[in-house]
């Protein structure tokens, strides 16, 4: 992908923890932009919004999801995000219900000061997402920015180490994660959500910065757990985890180049160079998930 000239040494990241409301696309968009502007006033230049931030999450039907979805990048949400990014000189990663023809995707867009950059489509669908959305078909794209190379994942993708590893192997330094984390079965009330642990582990194992923007609230009986966080490339939180139930913005000033420079753990060990492909080989994520997704979809359709 085309470069952007001289890299900027450090960048302030913001993760927006907000509560979208199902069906209120214009209201969700306005609330998100108000929070983007607030983060920009604090100096943030890369801003992450939650998963499906335009539409809400718990759809009653595929028809409802289709009616709330938008084209990318020509829909109203993308166009308004583009306008604010251009006006304030921002990079924005935002979760969106995407409509392409008659197909729906749980997607995230990356937008910069010069406009639309690209999109990611969620590879691993959670629960009844399998009814409404098609599996992502764009792989794990990595985008060049003036700050470094940025990839995107969405929520349940974080349970699959391959997503972060593919991003790291393509030179990603930061992964932005729009998410709608929900409580896991048997989750102890005294512990952080499993997603926090998985994020920290992925950041450490791949020497990646990871910025997760979760939502809060209860939607049609579904609780969301909040706890947005930003990790450094060693896996430790540098912002958050945020609260469980409050809308808030978390910030971290990071240097993306550290993700590559700190990948060597000692004289002998470097995380990506130490991989043993001669033992465990490689495979395609889409091929690895297609059978399970089809079984789930058929089960829900019965």
Known catalytic residues are: 51, 122, 155
From 139, 146, 206, 202, select the one nearest 171 (Cα to Cα): 206
**If you count them, how many residues does the chain have?**
302
Contacts of 173 (CB under 8 A, 6+ apart): 148, 149, 150, 208, 209, 233, 256, 257, 258, 259, 260
User: Which candidate, 214, 264, 212, places its Cα nearest to that of 234?
Assistant: 264
Report residue 257 as tokens.
């180049």
Q: Percent helix, strand, coil in the chain (nearest 5)? A: 30, 25, 45
Residues 149 and 143 sit within 8 Å (Cβ to Cβ)? yes
Query: What are the tokens at 14?
Result: 């913001």
Q: How far apart are CA 47 and CA 178, in angstroms?
A: 10
Structure tokens at 74: 């020509």
Which H helix or E strand runs over 97? strand 91-100
Chain centre to alpha carbon of residue 5: 26
């Amino acid at each position: 992908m085309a470069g952007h000239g001289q890299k900027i040494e450090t960048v302030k990241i913001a993760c927006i923890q907000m509560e979208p409301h199902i069906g209120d696309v214009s209201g969700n968009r306005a609330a998100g932009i108000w929070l983007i502007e607030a983060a920009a006033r604090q100096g943030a230049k890369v801003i992450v919004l939650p998963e499906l931030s335009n539409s809400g999450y718990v759809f009653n039907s595929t028809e409802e999801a289709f009616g709330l979805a938008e084209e990318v990048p020509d829909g109203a949400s993308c166009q308004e995000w583009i306008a604010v990014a251009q006006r304030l000189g921002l990079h924005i990663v935002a979760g969106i219900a995407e409509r392409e023809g008659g197909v729906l995707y749980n997607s995230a867009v990356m937008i910069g000061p010069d406009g639309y950059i690209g999109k990611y489509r969620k590879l691993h669908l959670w629960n009844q997402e399998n009814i409404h959305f098609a599996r992502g078909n764009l792989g794990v794209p990595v985008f060049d920015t003036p700050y470094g190379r940025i990839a995107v994942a969405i929520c349940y993708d974080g349970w699959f180490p391959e997503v972060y590893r593919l991003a790291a192997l393509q030179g990603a330094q930061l992964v932005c994660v729009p998410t709608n984390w929900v409580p896991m079965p048997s989750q102890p009330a005294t512990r952080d959500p499993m997603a926090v642990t998985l994020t920290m582990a992925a950041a450490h194992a791949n020497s990646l910065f990871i910025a997760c923007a979760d939502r809060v609230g209860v939607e049609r009986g579904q609780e969301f757990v909040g706890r947005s966080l930003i990790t450094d490339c060693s896996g430790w939180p540098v912002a958050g985890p945020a609260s469980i139930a409050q809308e808030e913005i978390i910030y971290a000033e990071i240097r993306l180049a550290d993700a590559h420079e700190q990948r060597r753990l000692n004289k002998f060990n470097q995380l990506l160079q130490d991989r043993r492909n001669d033992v465990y080989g490689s495979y395609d994520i889409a091929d690895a998930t297609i059978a399970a997704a089809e079984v789930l979809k058929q089960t829900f359709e019965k």
